[in-house]
Amino acid sequence: MAALRRIANLFRRNRVDTEIDAELQAHIDLRIDANLAAGMSPSDARRNALVQFGNVTATKERVAGADAALGLAGVWRDIRYAARQLRKSPGFTITAITTLGLGVGINTACFSSMDAVVLRPLAVPDLHRVMTIAEQPSHGDYQPVALANYEDWLRQSRSFESLAVRTRADMSLTGAGDAAHITAALTSASFFTVLRTQAQLGRVFTDAECQPGRDAVVLLNYGFWQRQFAADPTVLGRKIELDQRAYTIIGVMPKTMQYPSVAEVYLPFAPSSQQLADRSKHDYLVTGRLRDGVSVQQAQAEMRTLATHMAASYPATNKGWSVKVESLLDDINGDMTPLYYRLVMGGTLFVLLVVCANIANLQLARGVARRPEIAMRSALGARRWHIVRQLLTENLLLAVTGAALGVGIAALYLRILLITMPANVARYIPGWSNTSLNGRALLFSLVLAAAAGIIAGVAPAIGALRVNVLEQLKAGSRGTTGGSRRRMRSVFAVAQISLAVALVVGAALMSKGMFSLLHLADEYHPANVLVFNVTLPEKSYDTKQKQATWYDQSLERLRALPGVTHAEVTAALPYSDNGWLQDLEIQDRPAIPGKFQSALHLAVSEGYFETLHIPIVAGRGFTQSDSFDSLPVAVVSERFVARYFPDQNPLGHRVRLGGTNSHDPWLTIVGIARETNYSMWMPTQEAAVYMNTAQMPLEGATYFLTTEGNPTSLAPAAHKALAGLDPALPLDGVETWQQSIHEQLTGLMHAAGMLGIDAVFALLLAVIGIFGVMADLVGERTREIGVRLALGAQRGDVLGLILRRASWLTGAGISIGLVLAFLLAHLVANLLRGVSPDDPVVFTVITVTIAAAALGSSWIPARRAARVDPMQALRAE
Amino acid sequence: MAKNDLQGTLDLLVLKTLDQNGALHGYGIVLHIQSASNDMLRVEEGSLYPALHRMEQSGWIAAEWAMTDTNRRAKYYKLTATGRRQLQQAEESFDQLVKGVRAVLRYA
């Protein structure tokens, strides 16, 4: 409190002064009154009062001193002094503030984005206490939960204060313009209890609504509400039609609750008694909030114990299954996103370090000019602490101004980021739309700026302490050279170069990796291919026959469109990471316990191989004679053969996908297709089993149309052709294959772009840094150079002398930088397929480029040195 | 160990005065200390006012402007709760000082 009052007093010094005057005057007046009352003459009364009081001015000063604690007044004075000093050297000040602004700006932007996406993607209170609970088979990845198991957990587990279940449904929204395919999350009412969230508008479900027959209510996701209903606040009570059933809108979820991110609407989950008793369909996602005082490990242990009991009670379905408890945050973020963010954040902080080094360097250069000033202040009685404080204040003032600029830059950057992110990518990133410059980001930028100010200020301050007052004053304004100061500047230049090398190499490797990913699918000419997804609603396509007929007819119509050369359908396109990995059985070959057999389930239409130019290396591909009634056949990939039929002929063998409970028929292998990659990210590809959509139709599939000319112009025609067959069937994600690949890589492009910006900026600063050091060096050695030239040195020798020094600095910087770069490269290589951490081309090209840039920037001061006129240089002394 | 010095003693006198008299202006404090000490103690204005302002900044006393009996505007000070605690400490501290000094004098 007292401190606050003192600070307040600083700003109303005038008022305080007047008040003190009035108070002291009142004292004197009161004594005059008393003296008069005692019978003194007016003039005596007055004189006596003044004499008794003593020196009014001195007292007033001391009172004012007590009001405004001296320390704080001193800080204010330092700030004003610093501002004056900075105004005096506008070149330095502008450079420093701009670079700091950029440094702090990109850091703040990066942090804001990371904060929104990775650190707090959902506005859920105590997010770290919310867990996802999955079932873990003895082999393979963890899986969703069977409903009867969830019901048991609900009754028996003690670790969670609430548990919720949900599943997902693809539905058609009809009765509002074009039929649209939407994704619904079917959730228990407790879902909102677990997340401790309320509807932004209206209300969430009640338990009563989660029962069959009473569940015709719907909650809208914020994004969907905006897109479909233009954020109309009067939607409550309106009805929408999903899969031909009317639902009443009861609420809208808040913008900060994009979870699950794919969900456009939330519907009450009203399971039938049959579903409730099912222990084999692993279709349900379970979340829970830990009870107070229960740790993740305790919850995990309890759930494992429950799983063991359940395995004993229901061996047929539960044997070998355990449970995995994981924090919801980890589940949302996945493995890669936090790593990308950390990489980019790290790179960006690196840049800030380069900025600090640059400012420190500039400050040291300014230090020479300021020596007389500092010496004068010391001579006039300023203590060392005062001078250091003054210099630090100056840097902090720079830093804070830089931070203000930085916040502006960050706001601009985020704006661009939000605009450029494709909407159908952003939708799947929970928290993306929350990206904003919030309090945490502002605090972060302030802390960074203060740290930057101090880091950049320490070296010059230490330099200032070394000033020898007597020598300095004797030397006058000419200034003597300081070896240690120049050493320090050299160290900063080397540090800048090495950080820049590391960043540039990291960014280059990442861009190279990204470029190769972008062009992985080039052999298929993805720019000429139109793709879209169709999901057949269960209700109207309830038999395999109906589904097969749909594919047959729809492809026929699409192939008839002018401009379309091929129209095919597949479960997954190459590099799409969309394929389903399923358990594999091979007939007459009993499964070996503990050995997990799996293959990608790839249903494709008949002309798939021909359209994508995938050769059939043995046997045959699919033909028109493969129909719903003929023998179900399969084509397998080369990797499949290598893995499951090494040195054997697989043709004629029969396989089945989907595990022991599968109702699918056995498929007879009739051909082997050339190996094709279905994943962009996985280092090793899976074995694949292709089947014919005419025999094994899918509920949802990707259509792809190869075209002559611009594929997107065909989209309306394709839309119309399919609407002619079934107007209620929505098409999803109509775009070129190329666009779809770009969207897959958006996150990575963002990361690579950020790192690229970092690298360019760091390189620029490093070049400025070495230029500054060399210019400084030439300036200081002008006299020496003059003497050398006068004694007969050649201009070339002088040029060589300066450039040798520059080479030495550059060489040291690059050597350290390469070591750093190698470490960074290993990190990038772990994140990205196709990046080799010891890519000789990248390393060589960048080393040469940076060396050239650094030496090039030294060329100007070196030439100035070579042109020194010896007469003038010597006369100047 | 008693912590005390001359400034501390002035603070003690002022705080005690305000404790006994309620709100007083600076001149009133000077008069009270003078009369209560039978003219033995005279407080210098040059020391009193800085001390008053320092104590106000520290929150021991609060001030407000009011009219005197003679119809002049003057700044009145009164003790705050913090000030009362401070007074208690200062009194104890002073007692110890006096005891300490006495003990030394007796010894000599």
pLDDT digits (tens, 9 = 90+) for A508-534: 888 888 888 888 888 888 889 999 988
pLDDT digits (tens, 9 = 90+) for A288-346: 999 998 999 999 999 999 999 988 888 888 888 889 898 888 887 777 778 788 888 88
At residue A160, does pLDDT exceed 90? yes
- Picking from A6, A9, A32, A59 by the largest number of B CB atoms within 10 A of its own CB, the best residue to mutate is A59
Chain B residues touching A2 at Cβ < 8 A:
57-59
Nearest by CB to A6, from B27, B50, B57: name it: B57
Q: What is the pLDDT, as a whole number, of residue A177?
A: 62
Chain A: residue nearest B69 by CA? A30
A313 touching chain B per CB within 8 A: no
For A214, the enclosing helix (H) or strand (E) is none
In a domain, B53, yes or no: yes
Helix (H, G, I), strand (E, B), or coil: what is residue A336? helix
Chain A: residue nearest B31 by CA? A31
A-contacting residues of B 41-100, CB under 8 Å? 44-46, 49-54, 57-59, 68, 70, 72-75
∠ CA A205-A206-A210, rounded to 5°:
85
Distance of alpha carbon A416 from alpha carbon A406, whole angstroms:
15
Chain B: residue nearest A61 by CA? B50
Alpha helices in A595-714 (DSSP H): 608-611, 638-644
Q: In this structure, what are the phi and psi dihedrals at residue A426, rounded to the nearest 5 degrees?
A: -55, -35
Nearest to A266 by CA among A228, A236, A224: A224
Contact B45 A59 (CB under 8 A): yes
Mode of pairing for the β-strands spanning A245-252 and A217-220 = parallel
Helix (H, G, I), strand (E, B), or coil: what is residue A105? helix
Range of the domain at B67: 6-107
Mean predicted confidence (pLDDT) in A407-429 = 79
Which are the contacts of A770, defined by CB distance < 8 A and separation ≥ 6? A493, A496, A497, A806, A809, A810, A813, A854, A857, A858
Q: What is the 3-state secondary structure (H, E, C) of A459-499?
A: HHHHHHHCCCHHHHHHHCCCCCCCHHHHHHHHHHHHHHHHH
Q: How many domains does chain B have?
A: 1
Strand partners, A691: A603, A634
Contact B49 A24 (CB under 8 A): yes
pLDDT digits (tens, 9 = 90+) for A76-96: 777 888 888 888 877 778 888
Chain B residues touching A6 at Cβ < 8 A:
57
pLDDT digits (tens, 9 = 90+) for A822-857: 888 887 777 776 677 778 888 888 889 888 888 888
pLDDT digits (tens, 9 = 90+) for B16-38: 999 998 899 999 999 999 999 88
Distance of alpha carbon B63 from alpha carbon A684, whole angstroms:
81
Work out the mean pLDDT of chain A and round it to a whole number: 83
Distance of alpha carbon A112 from alpha carbon A172, whole angstroms:
36
Chain B residues touching A7 at Cβ < 8 A:
none
Chain A: residue nearest B29 by CA? A27
Write out the two tokens for A837: 């951490």
Distance of alpha carbon A327 from alpha carbon A325, whole angstroms:
7
Neighbour count for residue B56 (Cβ, 10 Å): 20
Q: What is the pLDDT, as a whole number, of residue A439?
A: 78
Q: Which of A30-44, A143-157, A412-426, B79-93 has the lowest mean pLDDT?
A: A412-426
Write out the two tokens for A537: 């609603």
Q: Please confirm whether the linkage preceding A268 is cis (ω < 30° from 0).
A: no
Mean predicted confidence (pLDDT) in A476-488 = 59
Q: What is the pLDDT, as a whole number, of residue A478?
A: 47
At residue B1, does pLDDT exceed 50? no
Residue A787 half-sphere exposure, CB side, CA atoms within 13 Å?
4
Chain B residues touching A53 at Cβ < 8 A:
45
Q: Are the C-beta atoms of A364 and A487 separated by less than 8 Å?
A: no
- Band of pLDDT at residue A479, cut at 50, 70 and 90: very low
Chain B: residue nearest A25 by CA? B74
Distance of alpha carbon A479 from alpha carbon A475, whole angstroms:
6
- Measured in angstroms, the CA of B58 and the nearest CA of chain A are apart by 5
Contact B45 A53 (CB under 8 A): yes
Nearest by CB to A26, from B25, B44, B58: name it: B25
Chain B residues touching A23 at Cβ < 8 A:
26, 49, 74-75
Q: What is the DSSP string of A735-779?
A: EEHHHHHHHHTHHHHHHHHHHHHHHHHHHHHHHHHHHHHHHHHHH
Helix (H, G, I), strand (E, B), or coil: what is residue A437? coil
Dihedral sign computed on CA atoms, order A602, A607, A611, A616: positive
Distance of alpha carbon A664 from alpha carbon A473, whole angstroms:
96
Query: Length of chain B, please?
Result: 108
- Picking from B24, B39, B55, B57 by the largest number of A CB atoms within 10 A of its own CB, the best residue to mutate is B57
Nearest to A583 by CA among A656, A682, A672: A656
In a domain, B65, yes or no: yes
Dihedral sign computed on CA atoms, order A823, A826, A832, A833: positive
Chain B: residue nearest A5 by CA? B57
Neighbour count for residue A545 (Cβ, 10 Å): 12
At residue A703, does pLDDT exceed 80? yes
Question: Exposed (0-12), middle (13-18) or buried (19+): which is A380, by Cβ within 10 Å?
Answer: exposed
- Residue A474: what residue type? K
Mean predicted confidence (pLDDT) in B39-45 = 86
Distance of alpha carbon A639 from alpha carbon A650, whole angstroms:
12
Distance of alpha carbon A580 from alpha carbon A334, whole angstroms:
19
pLDDT digits (tens, 9 = 90+) for A670-698: 999 999 988 887 777 889 999 998 888 88
- Band of pLDDT at residue A477, cut at 50, 70 and 90: very low
Q: What is the pLDDT, as a whole number, of residue A858?
A: 84
pLDDT digits (tens, 9 = 90+) for A203-214: 998 888 888 888
Helix (H, G, I), strand (E, B), or coil: what is residue A674? coil
pLDDT digits (tens, 9 = 90+) for A116-128: 888 878 878 888 8
Contact B44 A54 (CB under 8 A): yes
Q: What is the pLDDT, as a whole number, of residue A9?
A: 58
In a domain, B1, yes or no: no
- Residue A409: what residue type? I
Chain A residues touching B57 at Cβ < 8 A:
2, 5-6, 66-67, 69
**Residue ranges of E strands in A67-156:** 130-136, 145-146
Q: Are the C-beta atoms of A639 and A675 separated by less than 8 Å?
A: yes
- Measured in angstroms, the CA of A54 and the nearest CA of chain B are apart by 7
How many Cβ pairs within 8 Å bridge chains A and B? 67
Nearest to A563 by CA among A717, A700, A450: A717
**Residue ranges of E strands in A605-699:** 616-619, 633-637, 654-657, 667-673, 688-692
Higher pLDDT, A15 or A473: A15
Distance of alpha carbon B33 from alpha carbon B50, whole angstroms:
17
Strand partners, A185: A168, A266
- Measured in angstroms, the CA of A61 and the nearest CA of chain B are apart by 9
Q: What is the pLDDT, as a whole number, of residue A591?
A: 67
Contact A33 B72 (CB under 8 A): yes
Nearest by CB to B57, from A52, A59, A67: name it: A67
Distance of alpha carbon A197 from alpha carbon A201, whole angstroms:
12
Query: Length of chain A, please?
Result: 877
Q: In this structure, what are the phi and psi dihedrals at residue A11, rounded to the nearest 5 degrees?
A: -90, -10
- Measured in angstroms, the CA of B103 and the nearest CA of chain A are apart by 36
- Residue A672: what residue type? I
Q: What is the pLDDT, as a whole number, of residue A725?
A: 86
- Picking from B75, B76, B77, B86 by the largest number of A CB atoms within 10 A of its own CB, the best residue to mutate is B75
pLDDT digits (tens, 9 = 90+) for A546-575: 888 888 899 999 999 888 899 999 999 998
Q: What is the 3-state secondary structure (H, E, C) of A375-407?
A: HHHHHCCCCHHHHHHHHHHHHHHHHHHHHHHHH
Chain B residues touching A55 at Cβ < 8 A:
46
Q: Are the C-beta atoms of A391 and A460 separated by less than 8 Å?
A: yes
Q: Are the C-beta atoms of A691 and A572 separated by less than 8 Å?
A: no
Distance of alpha carbon A557 from alpha carbon A90, whole angstroms:
71
Distance of alpha carbon B8 from alpha carbon A553, whole angstroms:
101
3-state helix, strand, coil in chain B (%, to 5): 60, 15, 25
Nearest by CB to B59, from A2, A29, A30: name it: A2
Distance of alpha carbon A374 from alpha carbon A678, whole angstroms:
69
- Measured in angstroms, the CA of A67 and the nearest CA of chain B are apart by 6
In a domain, B99, yes or no: yes
Q: Are the C-beta atoms of A507 and A752 separated by less than 8 Å?
A: yes
Using only C-alpha atoms, chain B has a radius of gyration, in whole angstroms, of 15
For A78, the enclosing helix (H) or strand (E) is helix A70-88
Distance of alpha carbon A172 from alpha carbon A722, whole angstroms:
15
- Band of pLDDT at residue A11, cut at 50, 70 and 90: low
CATH number at residue B33: 1.10.10.10
pLDDT digits (tens, 9 = 90+) for A751-788: 888 888 888 888 888 888 788 778 877 777 778 888 88
Alpha helices in A288-335 (DSSP H): 296-313, 315-318, 328-333
Lookup result for tokens 């420093």: A96
Alpha helices in A562-694 (DSSP H): 608-611, 638-644
A556 touching chain B per CB within 8 A: no
Nearest by CB to B26, from A2, A27, A54: name it: A27
Strand partners, A183: A170
Chain A: residue nearest B25 by CA? A27
Higher pLDDT, A245 or A366: A245
At residue B3, does pLDDT exceed 50? no
Contact A23 B45 (CB under 8 A): no
At residue A3, does pLDDT exceed 70? no
Chain A: residue nearest B27 by CA? A27
- What one-character DSSP code corresponds to residue A141? S
Q: What is the pLDDT, as a whole number, of residue A286?
A: 93
In angstroms, the first-to-last Cα distance of chain A is 58
Chain B: residue nearest A22 by CA? B74
- Residue A88: what residue type? K
Nearest by CB to B50, from A22, A52, A65: name it: A65
Q: What is the pLDDT, as a whole number, of residue A674?
A: 93
Which are the contacts of A283, defined by CB distance < 8 A and separation ≥ 6? A144, A146, A147, A167
Residue A59 half-sphere exposure, CB side, CA atoms within 13 Å?
23
Q: What is the pLDDT, as a whole number, of residue A523?
A: 87
Q: Please confirm whether the linkage preceding A260 is cis (ω < 30° from 0).
A: yes
A63 touching chain B per CB within 8 A: yes
Q: Are the C-beta atoms of A642 and A731 separated by less than 8 Å?
A: no
